[in-house]
Amino acid sequence: MALVEIKNVRKNYGPLEVLKGVSLDVEKGEIVTIIGRSGSGKSTLLRCINALETINSGEILLEGQSVSTSMDGLRQMRQKVGIVFQAFNLFPHMTIEKNVTLAPILTGKTDKRGAKELAFSVLERVGLADKLNAYPEQLSGGQQQRVAIARCLAMSPHLMLFDEVTSALDPELVGEVLKVMEGMAAQGMTMVLVTHEMNFARNVATKLVFMHQGRVWEQGDPKTLFANPQTPELKSFIGHHAR
């Protein structure tokens, strides 16, 4: 059983159909990168996986379970799925430690005493253990994004979703975030990421998904697809983005 099973999902915003029957499986431990032109539905697909958007038809299963429609079911699912956005979305009024421990404390994953240790250990994983008492405003974009990742890690997620998490960063800060993500990949985290980082898609990912006009246009082994795109659309996309 795949960790995530997406079956023939359709999604529209009013008359605009954004996902036109998307099917995709993500196995445990897989690193799936989703690439595609702007507007092809990448973010929408990611947001459907943790039910930030409701789907119009089809089905999404997480660990074999259909995403619940009850508030309680949704919350339990989201506690297992971390998502990081392009705009870090840290909570400005909390220290880094509070940002990271808020959810584990409120959902009963840890008590107040265990929280400090938890914060230290996840921040150490992203290389920011010395920033426990700083506020988000006092960190660089790259550091904020690493805290956002640590905030998800503190919930011990089974799956991590990333939506263009390096796109808002100055070029010299991209590397530090990618390094953290490579580290997570090496430790066996299941990850689905939308990205424009073609090197990451080629060298780190275990599966490449090319979306085009609301469909999964091509998918497969990244190195094979990069070397040998089957469709003219992917070929021209790679042509535009390859360095």
Partner 1 sequence: MPNFNFRPLWRYEDQFIDGVLTTLLLTVSATAIGLVIGIIGAVVLRSGPKSARIGVRAYIEIIRNTPALLQIFIIFFVLPTIGLKFSPIQASIVALSIYFGAYASEILRSGLSSIPPSQIEAGLCLGLTRWQVLSRIVLPPAIRNIYPSITSQFVLLLLGTSIASQVSADELFHAAGFIDSRTYRSFEVYALTCGIYFTLVVFFKIVFALVGRAVFRWPTRR
User: Footprint of partner 1 on this chain (CB under 8 A)?
Assistant: 50, 52, 71, 75-79, 81-83, 85, 87, 89-94, 102-103, 106-107, 135, 137-138, 151-152, 155
- CA-wise closest residue to 241 among 207, 177, 183, 197: 197
CB atoms within 10 A of CB 4: 22
**Pairwise CA distance, residues 65 & 4, whole Å:** 9
Sheet order of strands, 57-62 included:
16-26, 4-13, 57-62, 65-66
Q: Which lies closer to partner 1 via its Cβ, residue 36 or residue 136?
A: 136
CB of 149 to partner 1, least distance (A): 13
CB of 67 to partner 1, least distance (A): 13
Comparing every residue's Cβ against Mg ion, the nearest one is 43
- CA-wise closest residue to 157 among 108, 114, 104: 104
Residue 105 contacts which entry, partner 1, ligand ATP, Mg ion, none (Cβ below 5-8 A, type-dependent): none
Residue 46: HSE in the Cβ half-sphere, 13 Å Cα cutoff: 27
Residue 125 contacts which entry, ligand ATP, partner 1, Mg ion, none (Cβ below 5-8 A, type-dependent): none
Residue 94 contacts which entry, ligand ATP, Mg ion, partner 1, none (Cβ below 5-8 A, type-dependent): partner 1
Q: Where are the beta strands (DSSP E) in 49-158?
A: 57-62, 65-66, 81-84
Q: Which lies closer to partner 1 via its Cβ, residue 49 or residue 216?
A: 49
Residue 223 contacts which entry, Mg ion, ligand ATP, partner 1, none (Cβ below 5-8 A, type-dependent): none
Q: Which lies closer to Mg ion via its Cβ, residue 150 or residue 194?
A: 194
Q: Where are the alpha helices (DSSP H) in 5-140?
A: 42-49, 71-78, 96-106, 112-125
Q: Where are the beta strands (DSSP E) in 76-222?
A: 81-84, 159-163, 191-194, 207-212, 215-220
Distance of CA 70 to the CA centre of its chain: 23
Q: Which lies closer to Mg ion via its Cβ, residue 158 or residue 215?
A: 215
Distance of CA 152 to the CA centre of its chain: 10
Distance of CA 69 to the CA centre of its chain: 22
Q: Which lies closer to partner 1 via its Cβ, residue 148 or residue 216?
A: 148
Residue 103 contacts which entry, Mg ion, partner 1, ligand ATP, none (Cβ below 5-8 A, type-dependent): partner 1
Residue 41 contacts which entry, partner 1, Mg ion, ligand ATP, none (Cβ below 5-8 A, type-dependent): ligand ATP
Residues that bind ligand ATP (CB under 6 A): 13, 16, 18, 36, 38-44
Q: Which lies closer to ligand ATP via its Cβ, residue 128 or residue 209?
A: 209
